[in-house]
Amino acid sequence: MPELMPVTPGWRNTRFAMARPSRIVGHRHVLWLEPSHGAQERWQVDIPAMLDALRGLLATD
């Protein structure tokens, strides 16, 4: 289960904690993290890099 999210202060620890049970029960939980910028927590995705990683993940199935 790929999950795309920004890394924001105070939120990532909760999200990481929720990903652990997913992996424990056998799901292939993958987090793709992107930095957030500024107080508005604006972020953008590096699409080419994310798609390359996703292709690699899908190729291992």
pLDDT per position as a tens digit, 6-49: 777 667 677 777 778 887 888 877 778 788 776 666 788 889 98
What is the DSSP secondary structure assignment for residue 9, as one 8-state letter? T
Q: On the CB side of 54, how many CA atoms lie within 13 Å of its CA?
A: 12
Cα–Cα distance measured from residue 41 to residue 27, given in angstroms and rounded to the nearest whole number: 29
Range of the domain at 29: 2-59
- pTM attached to this predicted model: 0.56
Residue burial 17-46, b: 16+ Cβ < 10 Å; e: rest: eebeeeeeeeeebeeeeeebeeeeeebeee
Cα–Cα distance measured from residue 18 to residue 44, given in angstroms and rounded to the nearest whole number: 23
Domain count, the chain: 1
